Amino acid sequence: MQDKILKNGKLFVISGPSGAGKSTLIEEVLKSLGNFKASVSVTTRPKRKNEIEGKKYIFISDSEFDDYIKKGQFLEHAVYCGYKYGTPKDFVKRELGRGNNVLLEIEVQGAMQVKNSMPEAYMIFIMPGTIEELKKRLSKRNTESLIEIERRLQAAKKELDFQQYYDCIIINNDYNEALLNLKYILNENTK
């Protein structure tokens, strides 16, 4: 099955702590590089203000999420900060089959599942310069409570241990430099 999925397009897994800048970098890549699609995630976490259902996330209940698992509809799934997240398998298969490269923004648990099932996927880890910088970014977003920010910082410390399993690491302490590095890596790996 994995040969069939990766026949035309290439799968890129992008991970890193919450607040590292993954979403912002991916949004810019999608605007400027052709032939790339971002995967939509299914989650049980509450929708944040300004989020649009179906654009980046599909918000569902715990029981609906469990049904997805039972039906084998996820490429990967994991629990992050108390909420369930998963990547719909059909979307990834369809886009790769159309010759599109897929950017999969997921946390490290899910990334390790993808690495095991699809070793051809290219793994990119985005990290902030420091944990203190990460804390500032999370606070500045103004989308999580102080308790949630602390939970995400604790998760970030654990996630940093996984960077050794990635094909490359981009340190995002300068947005423009990180964007140039990401575009270069994507272009080099789709030739």
Contact between residue 6 and residue 119 where contact means Cβ atoms under 8 Å apart: no
C-alpha span between 46 and 163 (Å, rounded): 28
Contact between residue 54 and residue 40 where contact means Cβ atoms under 8 Å apart: yes
- Residue 1 is predicted with a pLDDT of 44
- Residue 149 is predicted with a pLDDT of 77
Position 159, amino acid = E
The yes-or-no verdict on residue 170 having pLDDT over 60 is yes
- Residue 165 is predicted with a pLDDT of 95
Domains along the sequence of the chain with CATH:
2-188 (3.40.50.300)
Render pLDDT for 19-71 as a digit per residue (tens, 0 to 9): 788 999 999 999 998 889 999 999 999 998 888 888 889 999 999 999 999 99
C-alpha span between 56 and 131 (Å, rounded): 25
- Residue 7 is predicted with a pLDDT of 55
C-alpha span between 95 and 35 (Å, rounded): 10
- Residue 77 is predicted with a pLDDT of 94
Structure tokens at 112: 């390790």
Render pLDDT for 74-123 as a digit per residue (tens, 0 to 9): 999 988 878 999 999 999 999 999 999 999 999 898 999 999 989 999 99
Contact between residue 19 and residue 126 where contact means Cβ atoms under 8 Å apart: no
